[in-house]
Amino acid sequence: MLDAATSSASQSATFDAVIVGAGFSGLYQLHCLRNRLGLSAVVLEMADGVGGTWYWNRYPGARCDSESHSYCYGFSKELLEEWEWSERYPDHAEIRRYLNHVADRFDLKRDIRFNTRVVSARYDDAANLWHVATASGETFTATYLITAVGCLSSANVPNIPGLADFKGRWYHTGEWPHEGVDFTGKRVGQIGTGSTGIQAAPVIAEQAAHLTVFQRTANYSVPARNAPLTREFVDYVKRNHPEIRETMLGTPNGHPFVIENRSVFDVSEEERLALYEEAWEKGGLQFRATFRDLTTSKAANDTAAEFLKNKIRQIVKDPAKAAILSDIDHPYAAKRPPIDTDYFETFNRDNVSLVDLRKTPIERITERGIKTTDAEYELDIIVFATGFDAMTGPLFRLGITGRDGLALRDAWQAGPETYLGLGVPGFPNMFTITGPGSPSVLCNMPVAIEQHVDWITDCIAHMRANGIACIEAERPAALQWSDEVDRAANATLLPLAGHSWYLGANVPGKPRRFMPYAGGMAHYRQLCADVAAKGYPGFVLERALADA
């Protein structure tokens, strides 16, 4: 084991592993490497606290769409039993409290360097080491580089002409000011109606003088039915952890509910509507699990889509607004399905208007507000709920170069190429937690993260037990995996939402490639376990020179 020491010659702190990011992934990875394997590891985190995505996403209404009792680590029975969530869906502040509790409970903060932004990570072929440099000029050297930067941490502010001219204030939801934003008496424009915009609009509308929502693509949403958790439910969860986790680990998406094993066409129309109504009343992402073929058959999906569009028409009283909001061009859940608290109801407020950007696109931002082809909207504040340069963006920001000085950005010019979303050809001893090609964002994230971290930890333990100095994904295996990622996506309706960030379509110039693995978490877990059990086929394992 290398000591966490600073070599006076290079002034570079040396560790077994450098982990980048102190969210769910980085915290657990540090726990595994340091507390289980006894290795020296450091987490480099650009924020001044733990939380990762939840450190930055503090926008009004920011709340998790996974149910709280499933949005947590499962690795510690004690942790599961002692932590109590307060609501069905935890808000951003409660999730940060949870992650701080975890960091304190496992004494993790002493090995996290906060306010430390990685600007480059370079693989040194000759020494088989990673050299990591930070914005403040510090350098770190490590055998393993583990990226724990999340999938949705690189804000996408669209390049709309004139933003610099705007005399008001503007904010991106993913980089929200910690002190909050006071909307009182303000005219607010919100661009974006994805999961974030759908959470934010109702809360902003309650405070602002006026909210104008600029919608490019209409979206489905199902009520979250958020509520405080009852004592009975909290106690039930405590008593039934093993069963709940068994369900989560057995499903394709890591949630604590099963997908019903019935087709839309197994039941009469009357029965189907009753089942949709029941799922609507229950609320949440579980709506998607009402029938097994909702995500794979367009004809089946059409029935849910129609039900949800009708709900919009029933809720929104102004027929013109209802028509714009329900004019949805993709199957339900082909984009990440939002859940909401009073989103469509918000459009019944007198102080909320809606602009259809499909009919009247934004031409520019002016000193006074947003100018579409039809009108100029005077605003004091613009909120960009415009999403992220997802999955690859956070990795590119690290300035990673692998073998022979190859930049990750160049290696992935035509789209990301990984083996299992965990390893990248040309980038030895680098592991990507929830990287492109992993189920990650198509799964309840903590479930996906724990599987990755456990696999990486076991892999490093195997390397150290067997004198293996270097592991690197093989190109043919990565190419095959890319084909499998495509195949899995094409077996679903996901590619039918041509503008989704799953495809990279939301960022101009980004190669279009379906990035997450849609084959299901349970299946993926088995594939990864098989690879490990068979001695890591698809990876090249090299012994240390002295052992060769």
* Binding letters toward ligand N01, positions 215-254, x by CB under 6 A: -xx-------------------------------------
**Of the listed pieces 2-10, 196-204, 285-293, 459-467, which binds ligand N01 according to CB under 6 A?**
196-204
**531 and 420 in contact (C-beta within 8 Å)?**
yes
**Of the listed pieces 33-41, 106-114, 137-145, 195-203, which binds ligand N01 according to CB under 6 A?**
195-203
Length of the chain: 548
The DSSP result for 523-541, as a single string, is: HHHHHHHHHHHTT-TTEEE
- Least distance to ligand N01, CB of residue 374, Å: 15
Output 14 or 173, the one with its CB closest to ligand N01: 173
Residue type, 481: W
Output 441 or 453, the one with its CB closest to ligand N01: 441
- Least distance to ligand N01, CB of residue 191, Å: 5
* Binding letters toward ligand N01, positions 56-95, x by CB under 6 A: -------xxx------------------------------
Output 64 or 531, the one with its CB closest to ligand N01: 64
Q: State how far the Cα of 190 lies from the Cα of 207, in Å rounded to an integer.
A: 14
Output 20 or 191, the one with its CB closest to ligand N01: 191
* Binding letters toward ligand N01, positions 436-455, x by CB under 6 A: -----x--------------
The beta-strand segments (E) located in 243-399 are 339-340, 352-356, 362-365, 369-372, 376-378, 381-384
The DSSP result for 371-393, as a single string, is: EESS-EEE-SEEEE---B--TTH
DSSP state of 403: G
Output 152 or 381, the one with its CB closest to ligand N01: 152
- Least distance to ligand N01, CB of residue 357, Å: 5
Phi/psi class of residue 535: alpha, beta or left (left: φ > 0; alpha: ψ in -120 to 50)? left
| Binding residue (CB under 6 A) for ligand N01 from 21, 90, 192, 446 | 192
Smallest CA-to-CA distance from 82 within 96, 101, 67, 66 is with 101
Residues between 155 and 184 that touch ligand N01 (CB under 6 A): 158
**319 and 287 in contact (C-beta within 8 Å)?**
no
CB-based burial label for 178 (10 Å; 0-12, 13-18, 19+):
exposed
- Least distance to ligand N01, CB of residue 195, Å: 4
Q: How many residues bind ligand N01 (CB under 6 A)?
A: 26
DSSP state of 31: I
Q: State how far the Cα of 205 lies from the Cα of 274, in Å rounded to an integer.
A: 32
| Binding residue (CB under 6 A) for ligand N01 from 195, 290, 346, 440 | 195
| Binding residue (CB under 6 A) for ligand N01 from 33, 44, 121, 152 | 152
**128 and 469 in contact (C-beta within 8 Å)?**
yes
Q: Tell me the C-alpha to C-alpha distance, in Å, between residue 145 and each of 120, 138, 256.
A: 12, 16, 32
- Least distance to ligand N01, CB of residue 405, Å: 33
* Binding letters toward ligand N01, positions 358-397, x by CB under 6 A: ----x----------------------xxxx---------
Output 387 or 446, the one with its CB closest to ligand N01: 387
**462 and 468 in contact (C-beta within 8 Å)?**
yes
Contact call for residue 286 and ligand N01 (CB under 6 A): no
Give me the residues that bind ligand N01 (CB under 6 A), please: 63-65, 152, 158, 191-197, 199, 216-217, 336, 357, 362, 385-388, 441, 499, 501, 506
